[in-house]
Amino acid sequence: MTTAVDLPSWRDTETRKAIEAFVASVVDGPDAVPIAERIAVFDNDGTLWSEKPMPTQLHYVVEQWRVAAEKNPELAERQPYLAAVTNDFGWLSTAIDKHYDGDDSDLHVILQALVGLTDGVSVEDYARSVEEFYRTAKHPILERPYANAVYQPMVELLRYLEHHGFTCYIVSGGERDFMRPMTQSNYGIPPERVVGSAYGLTWDADDATVRYSPALAFFDDGPEKPLRIWSRIGRRPLFAGGNSNGDTAMLDFARRGSRQGFALLVHHDDPTRGDTPYDAGAEAALASAEDSGYTVVSVRDDWDTIFAASEAAETV
Protein backbone atom coordinates (compact mmCIF):
# COMPACT_ATOMS: atom_id res chain seq x y z
CA MET A 1 0.00 0.00 0.00
CA THR A 2 1.43 3.34 -1.03
CA THR A 3 2.51 5.88 1.58
CA ALA A 4 2.65 8.72 -0.93
CA VAL A 5 0.88 11.92 0.07
CA ASP A 6 0.62 13.24 -3.47
CA LEU A 7 -1.18 11.60 -6.39
CA PRO A 8 1.50 9.87 -8.51
CA SER A 9 -0.93 7.58 -10.35
CA TRP A 10 -3.17 10.49 -11.37
CA ARG A 11 -2.41 12.18 -14.66
CA ASP A 12 -2.06 15.95 -14.76
CA THR A 13 -5.64 16.51 -15.93
CA GLU A 14 -8.40 18.92 -14.99
CA THR A 15 -9.80 16.26 -12.67
CA ARG A 16 -6.63 16.08 -10.60
CA LYS A 17 -6.35 19.87 -10.57
CA ALA A 18 -9.93 20.15 -9.31
CA ILE A 19 -9.21 17.74 -6.44
CA GLU A 20 -6.03 19.58 -5.47
CA ALA A 21 -7.69 23.00 -5.68
CA PHE A 22 -10.58 21.89 -3.49
CA VAL A 23 -8.32 20.37 -0.85
CA ALA A 24 -6.16 23.50 -0.85
CA SER A 25 -9.27 25.64 -0.26
CA VAL A 26 -10.26 23.45 2.68
CA VAL A 27 -6.81 23.62 4.29
CA ASP A 28 -5.83 27.27 3.78
CA GLY A 29 -7.40 30.66 3.29
CA PRO A 30 -10.61 32.35 4.40
CA ASP A 31 -12.76 29.26 3.76
CA ALA A 32 -10.50 26.80 5.59
CA VAL A 33 -12.41 24.06 7.43
CA PRO A 34 -11.53 22.83 10.95
CA ILE A 35 -9.89 19.41 10.91
CA ALA A 36 -12.74 17.86 12.89
CA GLU A 37 -15.12 18.73 10.06
CA ARG A 38 -12.97 17.31 7.26
CA ILE A 39 -14.90 14.10 6.62
CA ALA A 40 -14.53 12.05 3.42
CA VAL A 41 -16.71 9.07 2.48
CA PHE A 42 -16.18 6.52 -0.27
CA ASP A 43 -18.22 3.74 -1.78
CA ASN A 44 -16.30 0.46 -2.03
CA ASP A 45 -17.26 -1.79 -4.97
CA GLY A 46 -16.45 -0.07 -8.25
CA THR A 47 -14.97 2.93 -6.45
CA LEU A 48 -12.04 1.57 -4.45
CA TRP A 49 -11.69 -1.78 -6.22
CA SER A 50 -13.10 -3.72 -9.16
CA GLU A 51 -16.73 -4.86 -8.96
CA LYS A 52 -17.05 -6.69 -12.29
CA PRO A 53 -18.17 -9.29 -13.17
CA MET A 54 -19.83 -9.08 -9.72
CA PRO A 55 -19.15 -7.49 -6.33
CA THR A 56 -16.62 -9.43 -4.27
CA GLN A 57 -19.13 -10.44 -1.62
CA LEU A 58 -21.25 -12.14 -4.26
CA HIS A 59 -18.21 -14.23 -5.20
CA TYR A 60 -17.94 -15.28 -1.56
CA VAL A 61 -21.60 -16.24 -1.23
CA VAL A 62 -21.69 -17.91 -4.66
CA GLU A 63 -19.23 -20.48 -3.34
CA GLN A 64 -21.53 -21.14 -0.37
CA TRP A 65 -24.61 -21.35 -2.58
CA ARG A 66 -22.79 -23.87 -4.75
CA VAL A 67 -22.06 -26.06 -1.73
CA ALA A 68 -25.69 -25.76 -0.57
CA ALA A 69 -26.93 -26.80 -4.04
CA GLU A 70 -24.63 -29.81 -4.06
CA LYS A 71 -26.16 -30.92 -0.76
CA ASN A 72 -29.71 -30.19 -1.94
CA PRO A 73 -29.96 -30.55 -5.75
CA GLU A 74 -33.47 -29.07 -5.79
CA LEU A 75 -31.95 -25.68 -4.94
CA ALA A 76 -29.97 -25.75 -8.19
CA GLU A 77 -33.20 -25.44 -10.15
CA ARG A 78 -33.80 -21.83 -9.03
CA GLN A 79 -31.89 -18.58 -8.67
CA PRO A 80 -29.48 -17.59 -7.30
CA TYR A 81 -28.31 -21.19 -6.78
CA LEU A 82 -28.66 -21.89 -10.50
CA ALA A 83 -26.28 -19.02 -11.26
CA ALA A 84 -23.85 -20.39 -8.69
CA VAL A 85 -23.68 -23.93 -10.05
CA THR A 86 -23.49 -22.77 -13.69
CA ASN A 87 -21.00 -19.94 -13.04
CA ASP A 88 -23.53 -17.52 -14.52
CA PHE A 89 -21.81 -14.32 -13.41
CA GLY A 90 -23.88 -12.49 -16.02
CA TRP A 91 -27.16 -13.11 -14.17
CA LEU A 92 -25.64 -11.92 -10.90
CA SER A 93 -24.09 -8.82 -12.46
CA THR A 94 -27.33 -7.97 -14.25
CA ALA A 95 -29.25 -8.29 -10.98
CA ILE A 96 -27.04 -5.59 -9.46
CA ASP A 97 -27.35 -3.38 -12.56
CA LYS A 98 -31.14 -3.76 -12.45
CA HIS A 99 -31.10 -2.61 -8.82
CA TYR A 100 -29.24 0.56 -9.75
CA ASP A 101 -31.84 1.09 -12.47
CA GLY A 102 -34.67 0.82 -9.94
CA ASP A 103 -35.67 -2.83 -10.44
CA ASP A 104 -35.05 -4.87 -7.26
CA SER A 105 -36.85 -8.06 -8.30
CA ASP A 106 -33.67 -10.13 -8.69
CA LEU A 107 -31.92 -8.36 -5.82
CA HIS A 108 -34.64 -9.54 -3.43
CA VAL A 109 -33.99 -13.10 -4.60
CA ILE A 110 -30.29 -12.66 -3.83
CA LEU A 111 -30.89 -11.08 -0.42
CA GLN A 112 -33.32 -13.80 0.62
CA ALA A 113 -30.73 -16.47 -0.12
CA LEU A 114 -27.97 -14.34 1.38
CA VAL A 115 -29.28 -13.89 4.92
CA GLY A 116 -29.86 -17.61 5.36
CA LEU A 117 -26.13 -18.27 5.07
CA THR A 118 -25.26 -16.49 8.32
CA ASP A 119 -28.31 -17.29 10.47
CA GLY A 120 -27.04 -18.23 13.94
CA VAL A 121 -23.36 -17.83 13.00
CA SER A 122 -21.20 -15.94 15.49
CA VAL A 123 -19.60 -12.71 14.34
CA GLU A 124 -16.16 -14.19 15.07
CA ASP A 125 -16.76 -17.32 12.99
CA TYR A 126 -18.05 -15.22 10.10
CA ALA A 127 -14.98 -12.99 10.27
CA ARG A 128 -12.71 -16.05 10.12
CA SER A 129 -14.59 -17.40 7.11
CA VAL A 130 -14.29 -14.07 5.29
CA GLU A 131 -10.59 -13.78 6.13
CA GLU A 132 -9.99 -17.25 4.66
CA PHE A 133 -11.83 -16.22 1.49
CA TYR A 134 -9.62 -13.16 1.08
CA ARG A 135 -6.50 -15.30 1.57
CA THR A 136 -7.40 -17.76 -1.18
CA ALA A 137 -9.91 -16.27 -3.64
CA LYS A 138 -8.95 -14.68 -6.93
CA HIS A 139 -10.76 -12.14 -9.05
CA PRO A 140 -12.60 -14.22 -11.71
CA ILE A 141 -11.52 -12.02 -14.65
CA LEU A 142 -8.17 -10.60 -13.56
CA GLU A 143 -7.15 -13.99 -12.06
CA ARG A 144 -5.24 -12.34 -9.24
CA PRO A 145 -5.90 -11.97 -5.50
CA TYR A 146 -8.54 -9.39 -4.70
CA ALA A 147 -5.93 -7.22 -3.03
CA ASN A 148 -4.50 -6.73 -6.52
CA ALA A 149 -7.86 -5.52 -7.84
CA VAL A 150 -7.62 -2.39 -5.68
CA TYR A 151 -7.50 0.91 -7.55
CA GLN A 152 -4.09 2.42 -6.82
CA PRO A 153 -5.17 6.02 -7.60
CA MET A 154 -7.99 5.80 -5.07
CA VAL A 155 -5.70 4.50 -2.33
CA GLU A 156 -3.42 7.45 -3.09
CA LEU A 157 -6.41 9.77 -2.83
CA LEU A 158 -7.23 8.37 0.62
CA ARG A 159 -3.67 9.06 1.80
CA TYR A 160 -3.69 12.50 0.17
CA LEU A 161 -6.86 13.49 1.98
CA GLU A 162 -5.62 12.11 5.29
CA HIS A 163 -2.39 14.05 4.89
CA HIS A 164 -4.52 17.18 4.67
CA GLY A 165 -6.49 16.45 7.81
CA PHE A 166 -9.43 14.43 6.46
CA THR A 167 -10.84 11.39 8.23
CA CYS A 168 -11.88 8.85 5.60
CA TYR A 169 -14.74 6.37 5.87
CA ILE A 170 -16.03 3.59 3.62
CA VAL A 171 -19.80 3.80 3.04
CA SER A 172 -20.94 0.91 0.89
CA GLY A 173 -23.92 -1.15 -0.13
CA GLY A 174 -21.66 -4.11 0.62
CA GLU A 175 -22.13 -5.86 3.94
CA ARG A 176 -20.22 -4.16 6.75
CA ASP A 177 -18.68 -7.24 8.38
CA PHE A 178 -17.63 -8.68 5.04
CA MET A 179 -15.56 -5.55 4.34
CA ARG A 180 -14.01 -5.08 7.77
CA PRO A 181 -11.43 -7.92 7.57
CA MET A 182 -9.74 -6.35 4.52
CA THR A 183 -10.16 -2.57 4.72
CA GLN A 184 -7.11 -1.93 6.91
CA SER A 185 -4.72 -3.89 4.70
CA ASN A 186 -6.18 -2.79 1.35
CA TYR A 187 -7.10 0.82 2.05
CA GLY A 188 -5.61 1.76 5.41
CA ILE A 189 -9.14 2.24 6.79
CA PRO A 190 -9.77 0.64 10.22
CA PRO A 191 -12.92 -1.45 10.77
CA GLU A 192 -14.57 1.14 12.98
CA ARG A 193 -14.71 3.48 9.96
CA VAL A 194 -16.58 1.03 7.74
CA VAL A 195 -20.28 1.73 7.16
CA GLY A 196 -22.25 -0.78 5.13
CA SER A 197 -25.31 -2.95 4.86
CA ALA A 198 -25.81 -5.13 7.92
CA TYR A 199 -27.33 -8.43 8.90
CA GLY A 200 -29.48 -8.41 12.00
CA LEU A 201 -27.68 -9.28 15.23
CA THR A 202 -28.76 -11.15 18.36
CA TRP A 203 -27.18 -11.65 21.77
CA ASP A 204 -26.62 -15.26 22.87
CA ALA A 205 -26.42 -15.04 26.66
CA ASP A 206 -25.59 -18.75 27.03
CA ASP A 207 -22.09 -18.30 25.62
CA ALA A 208 -21.84 -14.49 25.65
CA THR A 209 -21.68 -14.30 21.86
CA VAL A 210 -23.07 -11.96 19.23
CA ARG A 211 -24.72 -13.93 16.42
CA TYR A 212 -26.45 -13.08 13.16
CA SER A 213 -30.21 -13.31 12.78
CA PRO A 214 -32.02 -14.49 9.59
CA ALA A 215 -32.76 -10.99 8.36
CA LEU A 216 -31.09 -7.96 6.85
CA ALA A 217 -31.12 -5.02 9.27
CA PHE A 218 -30.73 -2.48 6.47
CA PHE A 219 -29.40 -2.16 2.91
CA ASP A 220 -26.97 0.74 2.76
CA ASP A 221 -27.57 2.07 -0.73
CA GLY A 222 -29.23 5.07 -2.36
CA PRO A 223 -31.01 7.37 0.12
CA GLU A 224 -29.99 5.06 2.97
CA LYS A 225 -26.36 6.14 2.65
CA PRO A 226 -26.78 9.70 3.99
CA LEU A 227 -28.87 8.31 6.86
CA ARG A 228 -26.16 5.84 7.82
CA ILE A 229 -23.46 8.48 7.46
CA TRP A 230 -25.30 10.74 9.87
CA SER A 231 -26.13 7.97 12.35
CA ARG A 232 -22.55 6.65 12.40
CA ILE A 233 -20.47 9.80 11.93
CA GLY A 234 -22.75 12.65 13.00
CA ARG A 235 -21.35 15.03 10.40
CA ARG A 236 -22.10 15.93 6.81
CA PRO A 237 -19.14 14.79 4.67
CA LEU A 238 -17.08 17.35 2.82
CA PHE A 239 -15.78 14.93 0.19
CA ALA A 240 -17.53 11.90 -1.30
CA GLY A 241 -16.57 9.36 -3.94
CA GLY A 242 -18.79 6.86 -5.73
CA ASN A 243 -19.40 5.22 -9.10
CA SER A 244 -23.08 4.40 -9.48
CA ASN A 245 -26.67 5.59 -9.32
CA GLY A 246 -26.78 4.20 -5.79
CA ASP A 247 -24.15 6.74 -4.71
CA THR A 248 -25.84 9.95 -5.86
CA ALA A 249 -27.61 10.64 -2.56
CA MET A 250 -24.26 10.38 -0.77
CA LEU A 251 -22.58 12.60 -3.36
CA ASP A 252 -25.35 15.19 -2.99
CA PHE A 253 -25.07 15.04 0.80
CA ALA A 254 -21.44 16.10 0.49
CA ARG A 255 -21.89 18.50 -2.38
CA ARG A 256 -24.88 20.50 -1.17
CA GLY A 257 -24.03 21.43 2.41
CA SER A 258 -23.63 24.98 3.74
CA ARG A 259 -19.97 24.62 2.80
CA GLN A 260 -20.08 23.21 -0.73
CA GLY A 261 -18.28 19.89 -0.79
CA PHE A 262 -16.62 17.79 -3.47
CA ALA A 263 -18.38 14.90 -5.24
CA LEU A 264 -16.28 12.45 -7.24
CA LEU A 265 -17.86 9.99 -9.70
CA VAL A 266 -15.64 7.22 -11.11
CA HIS A 267 -16.47 6.37 -14.73
CA HIS A 268 -15.24 2.97 -15.93
CA ASP A 269 -14.39 3.75 -19.55
CA ASP A 270 -11.02 2.06 -20.12
CA PRO A 271 -11.20 -1.08 -22.32
CA THR A 272 -7.47 -1.76 -22.54
CA ARG A 273 -5.86 -2.05 -19.08
CA GLY A 274 -7.84 -4.78 -17.33
CA ASP A 275 -10.64 -2.72 -15.76
CA THR A 276 -13.98 -3.76 -17.24
CA PRO A 277 -15.62 -0.74 -18.91
CA TYR A 278 -19.31 -0.23 -18.16
CA ASP A 279 -22.02 2.37 -17.74
CA ALA A 280 -24.79 0.01 -16.59
CA GLY A 281 -26.00 1.02 -13.17
CA ALA A 282 -24.42 4.45 -13.50
CA GLU A 283 -26.36 5.94 -16.40
CA ALA A 284 -28.43 8.33 -14.30
CA ALA A 285 -25.44 9.48 -12.26
CA LEU A 286 -23.35 10.13 -15.36
CA ALA A 287 -26.22 11.91 -17.14
CA SER A 288 -26.78 14.26 -14.20
CA ALA A 289 -23.12 14.76 -13.29
CA GLU A 290 -22.69 18.20 -14.85
CA ASP A 291 -25.93 19.61 -13.45
CA SER A 292 -25.24 18.05 -10.04
CA GLY A 293 -21.70 19.38 -9.85
CA TYR A 294 -20.01 15.97 -9.78
CA THR A 295 -16.40 15.72 -10.91
CA VAL A 296 -16.23 12.68 -13.21
CA VAL A 297 -13.07 10.58 -13.09
CA SER A 298 -12.26 8.91 -16.39
CA VAL A 299 -10.35 5.70 -15.67
CA ARG A 300 -8.99 5.91 -19.22
CA ASP A 301 -7.89 9.55 -19.17
CA ASP A 302 -7.25 10.45 -15.52
CA TRP A 303 -5.44 7.41 -14.15
CA ASP A 304 -1.89 6.63 -15.22
CA THR A 305 -1.95 3.37 -13.23
CA ILE A 306 -5.10 1.45 -12.38
CA PHE A 307 -4.33 -1.38 -9.99
CA ALA A 308 -2.41 -1.56 -6.74
CA ALA A 309 1.09 -2.99 -6.75
CA SER A 310 1.32 -6.78 -6.59
CA GLU A 311 2.94 -6.79 -3.16
CA ALA A 312 -0.34 -5.56 -1.68
CA ALA A 313 -1.59 -9.13 -1.82
CA GLU A 314 0.99 -10.12 0.77
CA THR A 315 -0.59 -7.85 3.39
CA VAL A 316 -4.05 -9.40 3.39
290-313 pLDDT, tens digit per residue, is 999 999 999 999 999 999 765 433
Q: Tell me what pLDDT residue 130 has.
A: 95
The arrangement of secondary structure in 14-52+146-315, i.e. its CATH architecture, is 3-Layer(aba) Sandwich (3.40)
- The mean pLDDT value of the chain amounts to 92
Q: Tell me what pLDDT residue 309 has.
A: 67
pLDDT at 98 over 90: no
b/e code 156-176 from CB counts within 10 Å (16+ = b): bbbbbbbebbbbbbbbbbbbb
Residue 20 backbone phi and psi in degrees, to 5 = -65, -40
120: left (phi over 0), alpha (psi -120 to 50) or beta: left
Domain edges within the chain: 14-52+146-315, 56-136
The one-letter code for the residue type at 282 is A
The model carries a pTM of: 0.90
